[in-house]
Chains A and B, each alone.
Chain A
Amino acid sequence: MAVQKLPLAKALNESLRKALETDPKVLIMGEDVGKLGGVFRVTDGLQKDFGEDRVIDTPLAESGIVGTAIGLALRGYRPVVEIQFDGFVFPAYDQIVTQLAKMHARALGKIKLPVVIRIPYGGGIGAVEHHSESPEALFAHVAGLKVVSPSNSSDAYWMLQQAIQSDDPVIFFEPKRRYWDKGEVDTEAIPGELHKARVAREGSDLTLAAYGPMVKVCLEAAAAAQEEGKSVEVLDLRSMSPIDFDAIQTSVEKTRRLVVVHEAPVFYGSGAEIAARITERCFYHLEAPVLRVGGYHAPYPPARLEEEYLPGLDRVLDAVDRSLAY
């Protein structure tokens, strides 16, 4: 049976297992990924089955993890590294930005850096500081990196394998608050392209574009809007670099309204890029300015305030109303 119902974290686990089985050059690296199976158990059981040479518990040093992954990639391996939480990627940011992203270009294309960096990201789990951030724009802004984020189990399963097969460095953002959400995974399906957006729900009055953890919120908002007689289309972007602008354009040409939703701060965020491009591409189709819903220009707040900070159903619906009011 190829179709299974799996929590998103388990789908990632199956995906890694498949990658390790398929390609002997694939390595898993990170803090606590071995015996513990990672703090979210995404690598559960992999060290037991593939050994300490393939599933490597690293010293507690993110710059070291990414820096050595670069070296391993130069030697022909395909390292998949885990950064334990979003806020802990920054010790490795130097290696990612100054080295990983640029080496292919500097080598005139003669070397490839097939490194995947998995980062559980986003809030909504009541965690302490540095455990709830959405730094995707900081990576998408850097040429040489690809940045993706699945929103459901099937994409988790397929996109991770596609990321591992990619010859480019891929920053793979995992929506940690969706780790426990179950979804169908068809392990024999023919997956969609890694950087193509997906229409998650058809609609005709307005388009909501989101990725990762916010797709579910947008689907709920679309369902709620339906009850009020509004037909909302939901696009799951899946990839933040590159962004599938064609898909957004197609949808906006139909609905004429766009609201972009993400958890990350709105200021200089991916919504800004999408708004600018779509305004350029669809100026004469738009009935309203492209609106953005996201985090504030403030540090991610303590857990007891995160419900206020994170875009929820109400804030998305409020933006839908504002857009439709133009």
Chain B
Amino acid sequence: MTVESTAARKTTRRSSGAKRTASASAGAKKSQTSEPELVQLLTPEGERVQHPEYDIDLSADELRGLYRDMVLTRRFDAEATSLQRQGELGLWASLLGQEAAQIGSARALRDDDYVFPTYREHGVAWCRGVDPANLLGMFRGVNHGGWDPNSNNFHLYTIVIGSQTLHATGYAMGVAKDGADSAVIAYFGDGASSQGDVAESFTFSAVYNAPVVFFCQNNQWAISEPTEKQTRVPLYQRAQGFGFPGVRVDGNDVLACLAVTRSALERARRGEGPTLVEAFTYRMGAHTTSDDPTKYRADEEREAWEAKDPILRLKAYLEREGNADAAFFEELEAESEALGKRVREAVRSMPDPDHMAIFENVYADGHALVDEERAQFAAYQASFAEEGN
């Protein structure tokens, strides 16, 4: 391989006929051989470890709270996945495996902070108090959003990859202009890191010192493409080139995610600008219910990550420290079941939107053409009723 490419390079540098072996793809395969260190406070075995910079002290109550959030979020996600299988939802993007990254980061937020999610942040939505049933409307196909972003400071899900990082940055610029000390957090995936919008949001946030935390859940895959197809350097290191700090955290460790995000938010509040947090985690399921991961990834990979399950890890710790007893786990189990049932019923009884909804909210101030088309549409619909259909 190298012999051929060296020879080719020596002879015909710019001739289109010469064959230079695909050095990029050959090199790309092993871009991350020596993995950088992760901030970790809880080992996969559930042992508490110290970190010089990011240590936190949580009460037993708080620890149980994090555990509860993760369990209920996973239950909700599983329910949505099965509702999709039963034809109640058109699509579902599961967060299975990413509970710690989401709950840890979201529990670091204050109510007055603002969240810009992608389409998989069900755990974050949970922590913001968004009714889980509301998240399902767009996946069922009855609306494109389903909640008022301002009532929980939780923006609508964004499907176009990376777009929301710029909105978050602009919002944060506004927060700074207002002299407020709230912070903003933008969620996105490792794939999104390739988008121009994300690079531009890094530039803007650095230049304007915007109080924003970029929270990248590197779940190792962008549909079928591994992270190596997006980057040759560990993602958190990108931040440096834009002029702000980046940190990689064990995304399956809820304590570390909480500690690192809290610290980044505090930095933002102090007026010190953006931080990139890369939560190193894993998407245990398919990309969405439309995806078939067997086409591109090996079962062993998932098995290796299952050993790092964020929920089992915290459970082990709770038990080891005697912070939760059997009654707690039983009650939580019952609560999970109740949540599943509530979500199931909510989805099944979710009405289809009224036909006229097509024309609602197209403009805030109205538009003559929309009015005209709405009237035509109504008359057309009514003509069927007259015919007795």
Write the residues of chain A forming the contact surface with B, with a CB cutoff of 8 angstroms: 31-32, 34-37, 39, 52-53, 57-61, 63-64, 75-76, 87-88, 90-91, 126-130, 267, 296-299, 301-305, 308-309, 315, 318
Instruction: Say yes or no: A305 contacts B357, CB within 8 Å.
Output: yes
Contact with A along B217-230 (1 / 0, CB 8 A): 00000111100011
Instruction: Say yes or no: A304 contacts B352, CB within 8 Å.
Output: yes
Separation of A64 and B198 alpha carbons in the complex (Å): 13
Instruction: Say yes or no: A128 contacts B223, CB within 8 Å.
Output: no
Instruction: Say yes or no: A60 contacts B141, CB within 8 Å.
Output: no
Q: Please, which residues of chain A bring their CB within 8 A of the CB of B352?
A: 304-305
Write the residues of chain B forming the contact surface with A, with a CB cutoff of 8 angstroms: 16, 22, 25, 90-91, 137-144, 159-162, 191-192, 194-197, 222-225, 229-230, 290-292, 295-296, 352-353, 355, 357-359, 362, 367, 369-370, 373, 377, 380-381
> CB < 8 Å: which of B90, B296, B373 contacts A297?
B373
- The binding surface of chain A is classed by DSSP as loop
Separation of A52 and B21 alpha carbons in the complex (Å): 11
Q: Please, which residues of chain B bring their CB within 8 A of the CB of A52?
A: 22, 25
Separation of A127 and B295 alpha carbons in the complex (Å): 22
Separation of A129 and B373 alpha carbons in the complex (Å): 22
> CB < 8 Å: which of B230, B353, B377 contacts A59?
B230
In the complex, how many angstroms separate the beta carbon of A99 from the nearest chain B beta carbon? 14
In the complex, how many angstroms separate the beta carbon of A48 from the nearest chain B beta carbon? 11
Instruction: Say yes or no: A298 contacts B223, CB within 8 Å.
Output: no
Q: A53-B22, A128-B141 are in contact. List 19 more A-B contacts (CB 8 A).
A: A31-B225, A35-B296, A39-B223, A39-B291, A59-B225, A61-B196, A63-B196, A91-B162, A126-B90, A129-B144, A130-B159, A296-B359, A296-B373, A297-B362, A297-B367, A297-B370, A298-B373, A302-B141, A304-B141
Separation of A57 and B222 alpha carbons in the complex (Å): 11
Instruction: Say yes or no: A91 contacts B195, CB within 8 Å.
Output: yes
Separation of A323 and B140 alpha carbons in the complex (Å): 38
Separation of A164 and B47 alpha carbons in the complex (Å): 59
Instruction: Say yes or no: A299 contacts B141, CB within 8 Å.
Output: no
Q: Please, which residues of chain A bring their CB within 8 A of the CB of B380?
A: 315, 318
Separation of A32 and B295 alpha carbons in the complex (Å): 11
Which single residue of chain B is at the shortest CB-CB distance from A266? Answer: B373
Instruction: Say yes or no: A60 contacts B224, CB within 8 Å.
Output: no
Instruction: Say yes or no: B16 contacts A76, CB within 8 Å.
Output: yes
Q: Please, which residues of chain B bring their CB within 8 A of the CB of A37?
A: 295
Separation of A53 and B19 alpha carbons in the complex (Å): 11
Instruction: Say yes or no: B373 contacts A305, CB within 8 Å.
Output: no
Instruction: Say yes or no: A59 contacts B138, CB within 8 Å.
Output: no
State the 6 A-B residue pairs at the shortest beta-carbon distance, nearest first.
Answer: A303-B141, A36-B224, A59-B194, A60-B191, A61-B194, A35-B296
**Known contacts A32-B224, A34-B224, A36-B296: A297-B144 contact under CB 8 Å:** no
Which single residue of chain A is at the shortest CB-CB distance from B376? Answer: A296
**Known contacts A129-B138, A267-B369, A302-B141: A60-B194 contact under CB 8 Å:** yes
Instruction: Say yes or no: B369 contacts A60, CB within 8 Å.
Output: no
Q: Please, which residues of chain A bring their CB within 8 A of the CB of B229?
A: 57-59
Separation of A37 and B22 alpha carbons in the complex (Å): 21
Instruction: Say yes or no: A296 contacts B358, CB within 8 Å.
Output: yes
Q: Please, which residues of chain A bring their CB within 8 A of the CB of B161?
A: 60, 88
